[in-house]
Amino acid sequence: MAGERDGPVTVLCITGWCRNGSTIIGNILNEAHDFIHVGELHFLWKNAVGLGANNLCGCGLELGRCAFWSQILPLGRPAGTSAEYFAAEVVRRQRACVRTRHTWRILRRGLGSVGLRAHAELMTQVYRAIAERSGARVIVDTSKMPGEAALLAALGGEREDTIRPLFVHLVRDPRATALSWHQPKQYVYALPASASTAYWCGFNLAASAITKRHAEHSMALRYEEFIADPAGVIGHLLRFCGADPAVSPMTGRTVELHGNHTVTGNPDRFRTGATVVRDTDDGWRTELSRRPRLAASALSWPLRLRYGYLRERAKGGAGGERARASRRAPAPHWTEERGLRRGKAAP
Ligand SMILES: [Zn+2]
């Protein structure tokens, strides 16, 4: 573990709707020198006291017993209060201040309430402590909560060099997302396609607002681009964070995973050893029945148009889209203003 460190801490915040592939991307980046993936940090307090969907760290220990998080969980807790009381207080503030519906207000007004200022102070402490304990320069946070992401730019208060936020808006085809939500997986519950797609729309709209507001520190990425060229996309993300792509842990489509300290995420986060990134994601075409497929398609088409999914279908039809998904050129990230282009690397 490293001690006190100087300079800003970069937080790479991956947004979008759950089941978008952020866990595997985060775990790959976790293998790069100077990077740590903390999973869905938003749920640290709730899960640590057993009120969330699962209470395990990626290392396999309970969060409260993990050597890494047990040192961070007491931060900001008033003397004489229990972990349970403090967790309830943090969750109450999160619900009051950083829900998806609060995203636009935070972007407009910044830390405009006592609750937001208190939460910002806690998150600043936590991110600094993560960097100090891990020795990492870049923290990958895959919480995907738009309110938390919007708040990120305001962290550090007057000490603007404390936290340097970078945003990745990660989008996955809503039909593939709906299929992923269709079946419960260990501690992850199931959602019908209509609900999954409604959330997909809401979270992606909020994520778009964040990347539009902070365009110079944002990039957009489709999950399908990642699986078409995982090494290329990981290299691009490393450059985006100011790291040398030569530290990429990818060898072709394969990465050797050595474990992590993630706070929840896809249950695959516990996987270690040689891991191959699959090259297709079109199981929804055959495994998602007609009714949920139509619901997901109908609810999402305006945003699928915005994110370039319909454009590719129009070029080559469904078969062409499927065929291209596995051989698409490296990471031409979309942006809503200019169409397809490469994401701008951060300094
Ligand atoms: Zn751990």
**Residues listed for the chain:** 347
pLDDT of residue 51: 86
Within 10 Å of residue 259's Cβ, how many Cβ atoms?
17
Give the distance (Å) from ligand 1 centre to CA of residue 167. 25
Q: How remote is the CA of residue 254 from the centroid of ligand 1, in Å?
A: 24
| Dist. CA 37 → ligand 1 center (Å) | 11
Per the CB < 8 A criterion, the answer to whether 9 and 248 are in contact is no
- Ligand 1 geometric centre to CA of 120 (Å): 24
Cα(58) to ligand 1 centroid in Å equals 6
> Per-residue confidence at 312, pLDDT binned at 50, 70, 90?
low
pLDDT interval class at 315 (50, 70, 90): low
In the chain, % helix, strand, coil (3-state, to 5) comes to 50, 15, 35
Ligand 1 centre distance from Cα of residue 25 (Å): 18
The verdict on residue 335 lying in a domain is no
Tell me whether residue 336 is in a domain. no
Structure confidence at residue 335 (pLDDT): 52
Distance 219 CA to ligand 1 centre (A): 29
Give phi and psi for 174, each to the nearest 5: -65, -25
**Mean pLDDT score, 318-325:** 40
CA 276 to centroid of ligand 1, rounded, Å: 24
Distance 347 CA to ligand 1 centre (A): 31
pLDDT-above-70 percentage for the chain: 86
What is the predicted pLDDT for the residue at 52?
A: 85
Mean pLDDT, the chain, rounded, equals: 87
**What's the pLDDT at 321?**
41
Report residue 113: phi and psi, to 5°: -145, 160
Range of 4-8, 23-27, 184-188, 310-314 with top mean pLDDT: 23-27
Distance 34 CA to ligand 1 centre (A): 18
Q: For residue 70, how far is its CA from the centre of ligand 1 (angstroms)? A: 9
Alpha-carbon distance of 219 to 197, in angstroms, equals: 22
Q: For 229-256, what is the mean pLDDT?
A: 95
**Is residue 337 in some structural domain?**
no
Distance 2 CA to ligand 1 centre (A): 16
Tell me how far the alpha carbon of residue 71 lies from the centroid of ligand 1, in angstroms. 11
Residue 341 lies in a domain: no
- Dist CA 241 CA 196 (whole Å): 31
Between β-strands 250-251 and 254-257, what pairing exists: parallel, antiparallel or unpaired? antiparallel
Task: Examine residue 340 and state whether it is found in any structural domain, yes or no.
Answer: no
Look at residues 249, 150, 165 and name the one whose alpha carbon lies nearest to residue 203.
Answer: 150
Return the axis-axis angle of helices 174-182 and 193-213, rounded to nearest 10°: 130
Pairing of strands 35-39, 138-141: parallel
| pLDDT greater than 80 at residue 345 | no
Segment 221-231 shows an average pLDDT of 96
Domain with 107, as residue range(s), is 9-328
Token pair, residue 119, equals 């939460």
pLDDT given for residue 342 in this prediction: 41
pLDDT tens for each residue of 263-293? 988 888 999 999 999 999 999 999 999 999 9
Long-range contacts from 66-72, C-beta under 8 angstroms, 24+ separation: 66/261, 68/133, 68/134, 68/261, 69/44, 69/261, 69/263, 71/129, 71/133, 72/44, 72/126, 72/129, 72/130, 72/133
* pLDDT of 322 over the 90 cut: no
Judge whether 344 lies within some domain.
no
CATH number at residue 111: 3.40.50.300
254 falls within a domain: yes
Is 339 inside any structural domain?
no
Ligand 1 geometric centre to CA of 271 (Å): 14
Measure 296 CA to ligand 1 centroid, in angstroms: 36
Q: How many domains does the chain have?
A: 1
Return the number of other C-beta atoms located less than 10 Å from residue 198's C-beta: 18
- The string of pLDDT tens digits covering residues 47-91 is 999 988 889 999 999 999 999 999 999 999 999 999 999 999 999
Which pLDDT tens digit goes with each residue over 141-159? 999 999 999 999 888 655 5
